[in-house]
């Protein structure tokens, strides 16, 4: 009686084939537009975050495949730079300036107030999902600090009161609750 041998045929899954079409397209376009640059991974990650708002971990295999890098290498760069978000941001992203000129005119107090009002630390998102708080080191608005940027709008001479008005006008506000 002959013995049948089982042969396992490995199934090759194309990196990125499991991604939503829109995300796959964003990655491929970012790669195509930046591949020729020296150190192309950084501009590619910037382009992806500009379009999607963060770098979802599910994109890493496709990015790595396209650049002929390991997934660990891409992950290493994403996690090294705080600028790259590994979690989906809130509806509005607030960049608070922590550089010297702003610190000299009240940025420290503003930072403490913003963290308390939103219930988050830097890189966190308020419990209602509306606000993500990020540090930034100079927004080029030093003469009229403390400065912050929200949804790409620059605001100077920011005070805790003006901060509350700003976020109150977008919905939410003090006590928005803690988030990761």
Cα–Cα distance list, 48 to 72, 137, 147 (Å): 18, 22, 26
Residue number with CB closer to ligand FES (143 or 178):
143
Residue number with CB closer to ligand FES (26 or 110):
110
Smallest separation (angstroms) from ligand FES to the CB of 144: 8
Residue 139 to residue 156: CA distance in whole angstroms: 10
Residue number with CB closer to ligand FES (52 or 102):
102
- Would you tell me which residues interact with ligand FES (CB under 6 A)? 97, 99, 101-102, 138-142, 145, 147
In the DSSP assignment, the letter for residue 58 is: G
Smallest separation (angstroms) from ligand FES to the CB of 123: 19
Smallest separation (angstroms) from ligand FES to the CB of 64: 36
- Cis peptide bond prior to 146, omega within 30° of 0: yes
Smallest separation (angstroms) from ligand FES to the CB of 155: 11
Residue 134 to residue 156: CA distance in whole angstroms: 16
């Amino acid at each position: 009686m002959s013995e049948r041998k089982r042969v396992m045929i490995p199934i090759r899954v194309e990196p990125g084939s499991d991604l939503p079409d829109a995300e796959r397209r964003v990655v491929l376009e970012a790669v195509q537009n930046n591949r020729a640059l020296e150190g192309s991974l950084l501009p590619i990650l910037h382009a992806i975050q500009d379009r999607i708002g963060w770098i979802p971990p599910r994109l890493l295999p496709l990015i790595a495949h396209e650049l002929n890098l390991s997934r660990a290498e891409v992950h290493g760069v994403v996690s090294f730079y705080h600028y790259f978000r590994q979690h989906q941001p809130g509806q509005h992203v607030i960049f608070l300036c922590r550089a010297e000129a702003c610190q000299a005119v009240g940025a420290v107090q503003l930072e403490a107030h913003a963290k308390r009002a939103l219930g988050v630390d830097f890189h966190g998102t308020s419990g209602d999902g509306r606000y993500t708080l990020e540090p930034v080191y100079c927004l080029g608005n030093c003469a009229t600090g403390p400065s912050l940027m929200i949804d790409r709008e620059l605001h100077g001479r920011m005070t805790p009161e003006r901060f509350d008005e700003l976020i109150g006008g977008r919905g939410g506000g003090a006590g928005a609750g803690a988030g990761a």
